[in-house]
Amino acid sequence: MKRTPHTITISGAGSCRTPALIGTLMQMKDRFPVKKVIFFDKDLNRFGKIEDYCRLLLHTFSPETEVVVTGDMDEAYCACDFVFCQMRVGQNTMRSYDEKIPLKYGLVGQETCGPGGFAYGMRSIGGMKEMVDCVRKYSKETWILNYTNPAAIVGLALDRLYPDDHRLINMCDQPYSMMVSFAKILNVDVKTLRARYFGLNHFGWFTALYDTEGHDYFDTLRDYLMNHDFKPYNAEQRTKSWLDTYLRVNKMMNCVSEYIPTTYLQYYFYADEIVKESDPQFTRADETILTREKEVWDVCALARGKNELGEIPVLTSPVFGSMMVEVAESIAYDLNQEFIVMTRNTGLIDNFPAEAVVEVAGTLGKDGVRGIPYGPVKTFYKGLMENQYAYEELTCEAWMEKDYTKALQALTLNRTVNDFDKAKAVLDDLMEVNQDYWTLEKRD
Ligand SMILES: NC(=O)c1ccc[n+]([C@@H]2O[C@H](COP(=O)([O-])OP(=O)(O)OC[C@H]3O[C@@H](n4cnc5c(N)ncnc54)[C@H](O)[C@@H]3O)[C@@H](O)[C@H]2O)c1
Ligand SMILES: O=P(O)(O)OC[C@H]1O[C@H](O[C@H]2[C@H](O)[C@@H](O)[C@@H](O)O[C@@H]2CO)[C@H](O)[C@@H](O)[C@@H]1O
Ligand SMILES: [Mn+2]
């Protein structure tokens, strides 16, 4: 049966992931056809680096698709079926501060974890609220598929701000990416793999892995990871920093091996070691500018002024882009495909607060996310999650109430910090450089 085509708005269209997202959308155009693509960014100069390439891909593979480029929020959000949201509020300039300021105090400097994730979260909540308010001014029907980070903070804040909005969905590609890597190790088709998983975003564990025929792969995979380096599915394209990030999954499993931890848990278990290995003058923000951004922009430059694709490569994204399109497809055509999803807990993890936003296996369909009940989690994991959830909750409350004390409490609770004085020092520095994005008031 022919599938109804949809109108999508890409928010944060200037992202260096957009060209590969469009390439993937074109690869999957029969599964999720698009009648109109609206590219929206607050910085159209940045989108300008990739605009000709994106237009050329759409023109080549789906000439019937209408293309709109706009810097006007109302035009972007007034009439779309789906928003694919991938904004980076503050762009790479602010990512760089997020990563470098904590390192000054011997603290983890990371995009989504620790003080950097806190500062980024405080920026993202504002940008996301502005977007959701604008979309909802026009329609309650539009699906908002959010990938903006830190998804844990953004997801929790949006759940608190829009508690009845089941068309507002937050996703992370990290569990998906790990499953693609597991499939490669096991030499099986990832489409046949199903997982059981629990945690918070960027703070979770795989606890089961089997295929649609019921073959259980978990013990085989665990044994493999106890004895072999964990490499991402696309190791040859990864920088050393990402390869090291995957290797610490082995390291974590050499201590506690009953489950498979997601990569970013390492920032909470090996904070000191990671800080020692970090260069405070050159962090991941610098690396992405010199690698991914440059490579993408170089390919896109080949399309400037061209009417035909010819030998210009079609960028695709087997994780970030594929997941986005599969999520939209599953919702649009009510396929109820399984993903690792973020959702309000409401008893899915039955010994964890009902109002937390957790990450578990679940399905996506016309009614939104349906989490699969997990059951209780064991004390070690529950303790870690409770601590992390308290940090996330205080971060959201600090933003909503502009409360300095709550921000300080949040940072002190964060396992990568754990020290009042360091928390205060890093908070004061972050607050200073984030003045245009968020403010806090001292009330004592
Ligand atoms: N959920 C996940 O697992 C996952 C995976 C990868 C990336 N991400 C996130 O996706 C986003 C994009 O990442 P990237 O590295 O490709 O970003 P990028 O820095 O290349 O591009 C982000 C774009 O967002 C734009 N932007 C900033 N504020 C905006 C706003 N209010 N409205 C619309 N656009 C705005 C910027 O101008 C920029 O062009 C980030 O938030 C990143 O953390 C999430
Ligand atoms: O440092 P970056 O910008 O390269 O990546 C930050 C993102 O990292 C995670 O996504 C990874 C994923 O874990 C990895 O396996 C692979 O597929 O690439 C993804 C990045 O494209 C994380 O989930 C994201 O939230 C981060 O933004
Ligand atoms: Mn993620």
Number of C-beta neighbours around residue 313 at 10 A: 11
Q: What number is the average pLDDT over the span 68-84?
A: 98
Between CA 377 and CA 386 the distance in angstroms is 11
Whole-number Å distance, alpha carbon 12 to ligand 1 midpoint, is 5
pLDDT in tens, 286-297: 999 999 999 999
User: Is the Cβ atom of 6 under 6 angstroms away from ligand 1?
Assistant: no
Burial (0-12, 13-18, 19+ Cβ within 10 Å), 13: buried
Mean pLDDT of 159-176: 98
Q: Report the C-alpha gap between 62 and 35 in whole angstroms.
A: 9
Q: In this structure, are residues 337 and 361 in contact, taking their beta carbons and an 8 Å threshold? A: no
Residue nearest to atom 17 of ligand 2 (CA): 177
Cα 218 from chain centroid? 25
Q: What is the pLDDT of residues 179-188, one digit of tens each?
A: 999 999 999 9
**Site residues for ligand 2, CB cut-off 6 Å:** 111-112, 149, 172-174, 177, 232, 284, 288, 319-320
Give me the helix-helix angle, 151-161 and 114-138, nearest 10°. Answer: 40
Q: Are 353 and 362 in contact (CB under 8 A)?
A: no
CA dihedral 406, 95, 176, 172 (to 10 degrees): 40
Instruction: Identify which of 24, 177, 265 to mutate to test ligand 2's pocket (most ligand atoms within 8 A of the CB).
Output: 177
| Pocket test residue of 86, 173, 292 for ligand 2, highest count of atoms within 8 A of CB | 173
Place 443 in a pLDDT band, splitting at 50, 70 and 90.
Answer: confident
In what helix (H) or strand (E) does residue 390 lie, and over which residues does it extend?
helix 379-401
Residue 211 one-letter amino acid: D
| 150 upstream amide cis, omega within 30 of 0 | yes
Confidence of residue 444 (pLDDT cuts 50, 70, 90): low
- Alpha-carbon span 186 to 208, nearest angstrom: 14
Nearest to 122 by CA among 100, 98, 92: 98
Cα separation, 374 vs 362, in Å, equals: 10
149 neighbors 119 (Cβ within 8 angstroms):
no
d(CA 376, CA 373) in angstroms, rounded, equals: 9
Classify domain 1-444 at the CATH class level. alpha beta
Q: Whose CA is nearest to atom 1 of ligand 2?
A: 284
ipTM above 0.95, yes or no: yes
34, two tokens: 């698009």
Given a cut of 80, is residue 397 above it in pLDDT?
A: yes
Average pLDDT over residues 251-279: 98
pLDDT at 87: 98
Mean pLDDT of the chain: 97
Q: In this structure, what token pair is assigned to residue 313?
A: 């490569």
Tens digits of residue pLDDT in 105-117: 999 999 999 999 9
AA letter at 187:
N
Domain ranges for the chain, please list them. Answer: 1-444
pLDDT of residue 389: 98
pLDDT in tens, 147-156: 999 999 999 9
CA 295, CA 329: separation in Å to the nearest integer? 29
| Residue 393 pLDDT grade (very low, low, confident, very high; cuts 50, 70, 90) | very high
Atom 10, ligand 2: residue with shortest CA distance: 174
Q: Is the minimum distance from the CB of 16 to ligand 1 under 6 angstroms?
A: yes
Q: How far is the CA of 173 from the centre of ligand 2 (A)?
A: 7
Q: Could you list the active site residues? A: 173, 264
Strand order in the sheet with 260-261: 193-200, 203-211, 260-261
pLDDT mean over 323-333: 98
Of the chain, the percentage scoring pLDDT greater than 90 comes to 99
Q: What is the mean pLDDT of residues 196-218?
A: 97
Q: How far is the CA of 149 from the centre of ligand 3 (A)?
A: 7
The reply, when asked if residue 160 is annotated as ligand binding, is: no
Count of other CB atoms within 10 angstroms of residue 433? 17
**Whether the predicted pLDDT of 157 surpasses 70:** yes
Atom 39 in ligand 1: residue holding the nearest Cα:
14
User: Confidence band (pLDDT; 50, 70, 90) for 194?
Assistant: very high
Q: What DSSP designation does 293 have?
A: I
Ligand 1 neighbour 149 (Cβ under 6 A):
yes
95 known ligand binder: yes
d(CA 444, CA 363): 46
Question: Does the C-beta of 173 come closer than 6 Å to ligand 1?
Answer: yes
CA of 310 to the centre of ligand 2 (A): 30
Query: What are the φ and ψ backbone dihedral angles of 357, each rounded to 5 degrees?
Result: -100, 115
- DSSP assigned state of 373: P
Ligand 1: which residue has its CA nearest to atom 2?
A: 172
